[in-house]
Amino acid sequence: MCGIFACHHHPDVEGFKPQALKLSKEIRHRGPDWSGNVICNDTILCHERLSIVGIDSGAQPLTNEDDSLILAVNGEIYNHRILRKKYLSETKFKTASDCEVILHLYPEHDINTPKLLDGMFSFVLYDKKKDRTIAARDPIGITTFYVGWNSQQPKSVYFASELKCLHPVCDKIESFPPGHIYDSATGKFTRYFEPTWWDGSKVPTGPVDYKAIRKTLEKSVRKRLMAEVPYGVLLSGGLDSSLVASIAARETLRLKKFAVEAPGASLKEANGTQSHLEIPHTLVGIDDEDELSTVTALPELHSFSIGLPDAPDHKAAREVAKFLGTVHHDFTFTIQEGIDALHDVIYHLETYDVTTIRASTPMYLLSRKIKALGVKMVLSGEGSDEIYGGYLYFKNAPSKEEFHAETVKRIKNLHLADCLRANKSTSAWGVEARVPFLDKEFLEVSMAIDPKEKLITSERIEKYILRKAFDTTDEPDVEPYLPSNILWRQKEQFSDGVGYGWIDALKDTAAAKVTDEQLAKPKQAWIDQGDVPDSKEAYWYRCMFDEIFPQQCAPTVMRWTPTWSKQTDPSGRAIDIHHAKYESAV
């Protein structure tokens, strides 16, 4: 992930530059490889770069041939080669960056430019000739992005990848809406992402197409292997990360058939093992338009997991890694290490949501280990539970109509929950997380299915049709994607899967730090905001958040709670069908 900070129409942009660079530095963890900035008229764009594609030539902000357009981007455009071929075959590019296509699409496609992009992105583009800024965010909000205003500067608009850049200069901050584009010429946000499933009240009636589910997810993973740096997969041992890892392992093997040795690279095994991360080589493959594409990969696919020593997911992750033949890195953390990291986690996450903090802490610790091993990009399994109703509380859905409406709601709010967690937990250490389940095509296929096929019943486990799509029992010529016991394993939410003792310890620690009297008398600011903590754990996190961030940041936070349940605790163990449920569960 990269980092963006920008201001359109600052009243004293030259005088503001030193502060702008200081604010941009606040997110250098997102982009430790290089920094850049451009001032044009009264607008400034700053960029902190994490180089994944076009590593030798893609420093930002990017400019067009006559420097009349200036662009700062955070993200990856997976279809950039296709866009170059289809729309920009006569265009002279300055770099090999996948993001440069945005610059050259804009003159013809204007605010429709994001519609052409297949990827995860946030960008700010300044048009010098029109004195105009446009900014956009990817359809689901995989990349974090915020917009802010200063009441003393009515013409100024600020943009940033994280809140910590904005609150020193903005007294009003909002999460930039996913799937939208902002135009300074009108001051309006326009939704460019218009999928068929957007209106959750319109219930789809399509049949299940297992082949389409499998094909589009495989295609999605293949796209996301676009990189020129070592990459890996996050492997919890649950269904979603295991499927992503399985497809990535198959794709790595397929690409090796076309492998060519990179100039100066050594493919010799070090000390008799292929687990070393310092011997990448270039793989040549074919993209979706029959064009050559290259990725720099490790001799073997590396997978990463973390948990307490007795974590439910540990054993499953090791089993999956052995089955797939990945080089597996199995890390543990102690409860005390997790608790000690909480303040830093909240600083990076910029949230006080209980379930996000619970799940992000192990991911934050794991990302540090991954970065230390030299890996800069990982695939992750976020999004599947929202699409297929995988959370165990979905069993209580009163009808297929409400089931579907809840999936749509959860997808729309991913940018405030799991996408935020995946993006900020990894980018805290300069690692980029990519999420294949949130591919536009895969979403379109999955959300067109009649929700009755997704319902959890006594005969059908959660995410049944996704599991069935990758069950090759009746396909003797197809190698299994996963062991059967993994493919059909019950859902563990990540904060549970890393070890049940983790959440229990957080609750116990919060109980020792927050008194009954404090919980009964929340701060007036919380009451005014209409977001009062409902547990000692939530109270504890909110206090830490308020120590770091001023009140204008709080409205950007959404607290995650299950629907159709009397339980407010987001743990999967609070749902009655979980095999290790809390005694207090409904």
Low-confidence ranges of the chain (pLDDT < 50): 260-279, 284-286, 292, 495, 583-586
Contact 161, 144 (CB under 8 A): yes
Q: What pLDDT shows up at residue 273? A: 35
pLDDT recorded at residue 489: 85
User: Is 482 one of the annotated binding-site residues?
Assistant: no
pLDDT at 269: 32
308 belongs to an annotated ligand binding site: no
- Residue 271 has a pLDDT of 32
CA angle 430, 434, 437 (to 5 degrees): 160
**2 classed as catalytic:** yes
Domains belonging to the chain, first-starting first, are 3-191 (3.60.20.10), 212-264+279-504 (3.40.50.620), 513-574 (no CATH)
For 3-20, write each residue's pLDDT tens digit. Answer: 999 999 999 999 999 999
Both structure tokens of 42 = 């009264």
**303 assigned binding-site residue:** no
* Planar angle of CA 123, 288, 411, nearest 5 degrees: 50
Q: What is the pLDDT of residue 275?
A: 40
411 labelled ligand-binding: no
Give 72's DSSP letter: E
pTM of the entire structure?
A: 0.92
- Name the active-site residue from 2, 7, 46, 553: 2
Go through the chain and tell me how many residues it has. 586
Structure-token pair, residue 86: 């289809």
Per the omega criterion (within 30 degrees of 0), is the bond before 61 cis? yes
Contact present, 571 and 535 (Cβ < 8 Å): no
Q: Give the whole-angstrom CA distance, residue 541 versus residue 389.
A: 28
**Structure confidence at residue 493 (pLDDT):** 54
Closest by Cα among 364, 415, 416, 358 to 234: 364
Is 322 exposed, middle or buried (CB count within 10 Å of its CB: 0-12, 13-18, 19+)? exposed
pLDDT at 292: 47
CA distance 25 to 6: 12
Which residues, including other chains, have CB under 8 Å from residue 170's CB and lie 6 or more apart? 148, 149, 150, 158, 552
Task: Establish whether 234 is an annotated binding residue.
Answer: yes
Q: Tell me which H or E stretch contains 500.
A: helix 500-513
pLDDT in tens, 154-211: 999 999 999 999 999 999 999 999 999 999 999 999 999 999 999 999 999 999 999 9
